[in-house]
């Protein structure tokens, strides 16, 4: 198994604040890789660096052999990285189906002129987009809701839709930012199963930020621990569980 994503010595400073400093790790293809750490450790910043919303102050990010740092977010997404957001960012006033179609659109091939004049290739592509997006929603159990507005869905289903939307990009790597936030322990267990299914069904590598230790320990093959923007530990769940620094920095302070 080779490294799908490599973060090499990346730093990001906001003014004087070092949100991430000289952080490096790699994500193996096919793995579920967890990132944990106390609040403010720089986990979401790391996601924003990988997806191009922020540019690293220094260091390199390599995905499947290509440099990502410096590329626009849309280019990075098109290389095969999907993501969800900590505070769900769906297109709230659009329907559930439209949310998924927008991500699926990256796989449609027709030019602006073909669209303006509604030439045949556009029609074929659009029909395919409706069929494939609907099928994806069915698979996610959201088929019945495809004409509802995304903003009207209950919280749990919004999280699910956000994952479906990211999957519609057909990514090789899926970044999940606290997928279990706001869920109770029963729902978290169901989510763990669901993420296992997503991972095998869509053959996608997972990189996730999470606070729920049961989910992280149960799902992840490998875990990276951040504190104050620095990597303080990395290893299998068993190794992390026994790591002194981690217990001091994180688990000791906030036992779950």
Partner 1 sequence: MDYFAQQAINAIQQGSIYALIALGYSMVYGVLTMINFAHGDLFMVGAFACLLIASFFPLPFIVILILVMLATGFLGALLERLAYRPLRNAPRVSAIITALGCGLVIENVVLSLSPYAKPMPPLFTVTGYHIGGLSVSTLQLMIIGVSIALMLGLDFLIRRTSFGMAMRAISFDAKTVPLLGIPLNRIISVTFLIGAGLGGAAGMLYGQAYPVIAASMGILVGWKAFVAAVVGGIGSIRGAVLGGYILGTVEVMTVAFLPSTYRDLVAYSLLLVILIFKPYGLLGKAPNQKV
Partner 2 sequence: MAAMAAFFKKLGANRYALPVLLAVGFVLSLVIPQYGLLNGYVQFVLIMIGINIILSASLNLVNGYMGEFSVGHAGFMSLGAYASAVLTVKLLPDLPDAFFFLPVIVGGLVAALAGFLLALLSFKTRGDYLAIITLAFLMIVKSALENIPYVGGPRGMLGIPKLTTMAWAFFWVVVTIWVLRNLLYSKFGRAIAAIREDEIAANSMGVRVREAKILAFSVSAFFAGVAGALLAHLLVFINPSSFDILKSTEMLVMVYLGGIGSLAGSILGAVIYTLLSNWLQDFGTWRMVIMPLILVLLMLFRPKGIMGFRELPWFLPKREARRKDS
Convert residues 64-103 into a mask of x (bound to partner 1 by CB under 8 A) and - (unbound): ---------------------x------------------
d(CA 112, CA 62): 32
**With CB cut-offs between 5 and 8 Å by kind, which of partner 2, partner 1, none does residue 194 bind?**
none
**With CB cut-offs between 5 and 8 Å by kind, which of partner 2, partner 1, none does residue 44 bind?**
partner 1
Binding residue for partner 2, selected from 29, 60, 98, 187, defined by CB under 8 A: 98
Q: Binding of partner 2 at residue 91 (CB under 8 A)?
A: yes
**With CB cut-offs between 5 and 8 Å by kind, which of partner 2, partner 1, none does residue 256 bind?**
none
Q: Binding of partner 2 at residue 55 (CB under 8 A)?
A: no
Binding residue for partner 1, selected from 21, 44, 84, 224, defined by CB under 8 A: 44
Backbone angles phi, psi at 40, to 5 degrees: 80, 10
Pairing of strands 81-83, 66-67: unpaired
Name the token pair of 41. 């450790």
Distance of CA 213 to CAs 32, 93, 122, 175, 181, Å? 14, 34, 47, 18, 12
State which of positions 150-189 bind partner 2 (CB under 8 A): 165-166, 169
Tell me if 231 sits within 8 A of 214, measured CB to CB.
no
Count the Cβ atoms, other than its own, within 10 Å of residue 37.
24
d(CA 102, CA 133): 9
d(CA 177, CA 253): 22
Count the Cβ atoms, other than its own, within 10 Å of residue 77.
19
State which of positions 8-47 bind partner 2 (CB under 8 A): none
Residues that bind partner 1 (CB under 8 A): 44, 48, 53, 85
Residues that bind partner 2 (CB under 8 A): 51-53, 72-74, 77-78, 82-83, 85, 89-94, 98, 101-103, 105-106, 108, 110, 112, 115-118, 122-123, 125-127, 129-130, 147, 165-166, 169
């Amino acid at each position: 198994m080779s490294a799908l994503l490599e973060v090499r010595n990346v730093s990001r400073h906001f003014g004087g604040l070092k949100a991430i400093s000289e952080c490096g790790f790699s994500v193996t293809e096919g793995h579920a890789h967890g990132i944990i750490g106390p609040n403010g450790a720089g986990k979401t910043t790391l996601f924003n660096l990988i997806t191009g919303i922020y540019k690293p102050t220094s260091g390199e990010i390599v995905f499947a052999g290509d440099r990502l740092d410096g590329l626009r977010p849309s280019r990075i997404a098109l290389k095969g990285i999907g993501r969800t957001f900590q505070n769900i960012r769906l297109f709230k006033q659009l329907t559930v189906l439209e949310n998924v179609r927008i991500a699926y659109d990256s796989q449609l091939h027709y030019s602006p002129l073909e669209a303006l004049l509604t030439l045949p290739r556009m029609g074929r592509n659009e029909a395919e987009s409706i069929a494939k997006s609907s099928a994806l929603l069915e698979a996610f159990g959201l088929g019945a809701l495809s004409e509802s507005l995304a903003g009207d869905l209950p919280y749990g289903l919004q999280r699910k839709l956000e994952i479906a939307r990211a999957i519609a990009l057909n990514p090789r790597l899926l970044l999940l930012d606290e997928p279990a936030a706001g869920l109770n322990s029963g729902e978290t267990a169901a989510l763990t199963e669901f993420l296992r299914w997503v991972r095998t069904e869509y053959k996608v590598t997972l990189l996730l930020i999470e606070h729920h230790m049961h989910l992280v320990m149960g799902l992840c093959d490998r875990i990276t621990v951040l504190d104050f923007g620095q990597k303080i530990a990395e290893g299998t769940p068993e190794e992390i569980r026994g790591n002194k620094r981690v217990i001091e920095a994180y688990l000791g302070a906030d036992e779950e």
